[in-house]
Amino acid sequence: MPDESRHRLVAIGSDHAGFKLKEKLKEEIAGMGYGVLDMGTDSEDSCDYPDFALPVAEAVSRNKAWRGVLVCGSGAGMTMVANKVPGVRAATCNDNYAAEYCRLHNDANIVTMGARIINEVQAGNIARTFLETEYEGNEPDGYRHAARLFKLEQVERKYMKEQ
């Protein structure tokens, strides 16, 4: 893990289904040396996932957080909300392969997980993989990823202009 990790802030949020797992992940992420910005929820009381996905996505989009972690029942709802925010590239990852490759090839900046799909050990491994994997688009062999990411950003800009 790079020394600068202690200076990197990870925004984290969940809905009621992901609350317990979020609490465990906060400990894991802090134990890796990263700062943690908890954006809620604060209990297992029923709540709406967009209310917690949006602040995490905005924190990442506005560079108030380096990366983000979101947890709901499946991971899907949080991903859908986060990806509405310009500059966010959220990916649902319920295994290490997805966590590694969304970073390597897509430079994802938010990972979402399903608390009803994976356990605490798996979630910790996914978070570690996501946070410690570097984007390879800046490497000579990775320029194809940078070109694809540029196209993704063009799509985002196109629809932002139409609004």
Biggest alpha carbon distance in the chain? 49
pTM over 0.85: yes
In-domain check, residue 128? yes
In-domain check, residue 141? no
In-domain check, residue 155? no
**Which comes out higher in pLDDT, residue 39 or 161?**
39
What is the pLDDT, as a whole number, of residue 103? Answer: 97
Q: What are the φ and ψ backbone dihedral angles of 67, each rounded to 5 degrees?
A: -145, 170
C-alpha–C-alpha distance, residues 162 and 62, integer Å: 21
Interval 120-157: pLDDT, tens = 999 999 999 999 999 998 777 768 888 899 999 999 99
Domain that includes residue 17, residue range: 3-136
Is 105 among the catalytic positions? yes
The one catalytic residue among 47, 93, 102, 105? 105
What is the pLDDT, as a whole number, of residue 18? Answer: 98
The one catalytic residue among 16, 72, 93, 102? 72
In-domain check, residue 144? no
- CA-CA-CA-CA torsion sign (118, 41, 79, 60): negative
Interval 56-86: pLDDT, tens = 999 999 999 999 999 999 999 999 999 999 9
Structure tokens that stand for 109 in this block: 């900046």
In-domain check, residue 67? yes
C-alpha–C-alpha distance, residues 29 and 49, integer Å: 21
What is the pLDDT, as a whole number, of residue 6? Answer: 53
Is 72 among the catalytic positions? yes
What is the pLDDT, as a whole number, of residue 138? Answer: 78
In-domain check, residue 159? no
Q: What is the CATH number of the domain that holds 71?
A: 3.40.1400.10
Query: Does residue 1 register a pLDDT over 70?
Result: no
Domain count, the chain: 1
C-alpha–C-alpha distance, residues 29 and 35, integer Å: 8
In-domain check, residue 90? yes
Per-residue pLDDT, averaged over 101-115, amounts to 97
**Which comes out higher in pLDDT, residue 7 or 35?**
35
In-domain check, residue 158? no
